[in-house]
Chains A and B, each alone.
Chain A
Amino acid sequence: MLAIIDYGAGNLFSVKNALEHLGEEGVITSDPEVLAQADRLILPGVGAFPDAMQKLNQLGLTAVIQEQAKRKPLLGICLGMQILFESGSEFAETAGLGLIPGRVDRIQTSYKIPHMGYNELEFQNPSPLLKGIEEKSCVYFVHSFMAYTPEEYVTACCDYGVKVPALVQNAHVFGAQFHPEKSGEAGLRILHNFIRYSN
């Protein structure tokens, strides 16, 4: 069973719809017991870093996710990807889940902020989530902050005046800065790969 972690984030149903289309029923839940039973987790997210961490803390989910992520595949999407890192600087310096080394800070580019629209994936390191995906496939981004992390954790990036980490990975913890549920067939393929992945 795949659990979509519910902490009030906006894109829960889009993620669930995409999973259903792929033949996988996602269970939307904030119940630690259900998360413990699940064989994989998706952490969605839209909004700001401190709000997301505050909600996870209020729901008592921070430690639960950290514990579950030791054993099972986890995919963070957009803000859900950003809070996988150690800290973020949006509005106020805030501790993240600390599942991938690095921090989240404003995108330093001469281009328009937010980075919004379809951008091309450039592969950096092999990833099981990129199986069957052609390099330069476009995926949909909406964000103003990005991960600053050692290159070894970046499996794909995109060019937005700076190299923006698009897909990150630390063992079986994955993060997508883009929205795979809103990126057409390429995005669905990435979700499909996550559903099939076993660590």
Chain B
Amino acid sequence: MLSKRIIPCLDVKNGRVVKGINFVGLKEVGDPVECAREYYCQGADEIVFLDITATHEERDTMIDVVRETARQVFVPLTVGGGIREIEDFRRLLRAGADKISVNSSAVKNPQLISDAAQLFGSQCVVAAIDAKRVDRSFHVVVNGGRIDTGLDAIQWAKEVQERGAGEILLTSMDADGTKEGFDIELLNAVCEVVSIPVIASGGCGQLKHFSKVFLESGADAALAASLFHYKELTVEQVKTHLAEKGIPVRRLKGSECE
């Protein structure tokens, strides 16, 4: 049986890990390679880097971060943020990323998903969807939730699958930052219409939120950033909790990362 995956996410700006509240007052807190290695040693099933560097020129630092991380972390590595064209995929994959996530640029240009899937394979194309409740439906939002694209998130999820995305990273902008739990309703609405794996993101604040999301939704993986970053929980604690609830997870055998 497949394990449910636990995925820590690191926000990286100009080659440094930062974590901010609502993207305002970003605080620099560390070396992304070290942080990624630490998560790997805790038993993270994958690592996600979200590049929030403002300008295109400064993104070259991310290439170095990815290259160095790939030398030390032996689980899949996903990189997202600022991916606009096929050449961005090529550079990051060559540097050692295993998957690339696309968000607003795919909304602007859906062909990017089709082209990347065709060229590099679906397994490395992750469609990141930020969704927010508007009336009785979910809309795709971009720019940290500030812009409502008007696009129906459930329809968009179907479309990214048809275009060849291999996974969906689904963030609930309603739940994000609340620490009140993942958005089960949104997850199930998307899981019902797609067959590719869905990664739950946004809202987790406690151990029980992880078991709840796997018991009550079709999510295949759960992503968290600040919870792990501020050491409120370790990946290992989450996995122990999930195993106690009978949810299949990859447990570390013996001593890792000596």
A138 to B195 CA separation, bound complex (whole angstroms): 22
* Chain B: CB-nearest residue to A138: B250
**Interface stretch of the complex, out of A28-36, A88-96, A113-121, A167-175:** A113-121
Residues of B within 8 A of A181 (CB): 74
A69 to B43 CA separation, bound complex (whole angstroms): 36
Please count the residue pairs between chain A and chain B whose beta carbons lie under 8 angstroms apart in the complex. 91
Residue-wise interface mask of B (96-139) relative to A, using a CB-CB cutoff of 8 A (1 in contact, 0 not): 10100000000000000000000011111000000000000000
- Contact partner, A21, options B72, B120, B196, Cβ 8 Å: B72
Residues of B within 8 A of A119 (CB): 1-3
- Contact partner, B76, options A10, A47, A137, A182, Cβ 8 Å: A182
Asked if A160 and B96 sit within 8 Å, CB to CB, the answer is: no
Asked if A134 and B250 sit within 8 Å, CB to CB, the answer is: no
Residues of A within 8 A of B167 (CB): 116
Residues of A within 8 A of B74 (CB): 17-18, 21, 181-185, 187-188
Q: Does A148 contact B (CB under 8 A)?
A: no
Asked if B45 and A185 sit within 8 Å, CB to CB, the answer is: no
Asked if B2 and A184 sit within 8 Å, CB to CB, the answer is: no
Asked if A14 and B123 sit within 8 Å, CB to CB, the answer is: no
Residues of A within 8 A of B72 (CB): 21
Asked if B196 and A46 sit within 8 Å, CB to CB, the answer is: no
| Contact residues of B: prevailing secondary structure | loop
Q: Does B27 contact A (CB under 8 A)?
A: no
Q: Give residues 182-211 of B contacting A (CB, 8 Å).
A: 195-197
A136 to B120 CA separation, bound complex (whole angstroms): 31
Asked if A20 and B5 sit within 8 Å, CB to CB, the answer is: no
A118 to B197 CA separation, bound complex (whole angstroms): 12
- Contact partner, B1, options A17, A112, A120, Cβ 8 Å: A120
Q: A169 CB to closest chain B CB, in angstroms? A: 22
Given A116-B123, A137-B253, does the pair A14, B195 have CB atoms closer than 8 Å? no
Residue-wise interface mask of A (102-142) relative to B, using a CB-CB cutoff of 8 A (1 in contact, 0 not): 00000000011111111110000000000000100110101
Asked if A186 and B76 sit within 8 Å, CB to CB, the answer is: no
A142 to B40 CA separation, bound complex (whole angstroms): 20
Q: A43 CB to closest chain B CB, in angstroms? A: 17
Asked if B93 and A10 sit within 8 Å, CB to CB, the answer is: yes
* Chain A: CB-nearest residue to B248: A120
Q: Contact residue range for chain A?
A: 20 to 34
- Contact partner, A114, options B71, B166, B252, B257, Cβ 8 Å: B166
A46 to B195 CA separation, bound complex (whole angstroms): 21
Q: Contact residue range for chain B?
A: 35 or more
Q: Does B256 contact A (CB under 8 A)?
A: yes
* Chain A: CB-nearest residue to B76: A182
Q: Does A13 contact B (CB under 8 A)?
A: yes
Q: Does B86 contact A (CB under 8 A)?
A: no
Residues of B within 8 A of A115 (CB): 2
Given A112-B196, A117-B197, does the pair A138, B71 have CB atoms closer than 8 Å? no
A9 to B195 CA separation, bound complex (whole angstroms): 26
A138 to B6 CA separation, bound complex (whole angstroms): 14
Asked if A184 and B70 sit within 8 Å, CB to CB, the answer is: no
Q: Give residues 28-76 of B contacting A (CB, 8 Å).
A: 40, 43, 45, 70-72, 74-76
Q: Does B220 contact A (CB under 8 A)?
A: yes
Given A14-B70, A14-B98, A138-B250, does the pair A183, B75 have CB atoms closer than 8 Å? yes
Asked if B121 and A185 sit within 8 Å, CB to CB, the answer is: no
Q: A50 CB to closest chain B CB, in angstroms? A: 14
A54 to B5 CA separation, bound complex (whole angstroms): 35
Q: Does B94 contact A (CB under 8 A)?
A: yes
Partner-B contacts on A (CB < 8 A)? 10, 13-14, 17-18, 20-21, 46-47, 111-120, 134, 137-138, 140, 142, 159-160, 181-188
Instruction: Show 10 A/B contacts (Cβ-Cβ < 8 Å), sorted by A.
Output: A13-B96, A112-B195, A117-B3, A117-B5, A118-B3, A118-B250, A120-B248, A160-B1, A181-B74, A185-B254
Besides the known contacts A113-B195, A142-B123, 4 further A-B residue pairs in the complex with CB atoms under 8 A apart: A118-B250, A183-B75, A184-B43, A185-B256
Q: State the 3 A-B residue pairs at the shortest beta-carbon distance, nearest first.
A: A138-B250, A118-B3, A118-B250
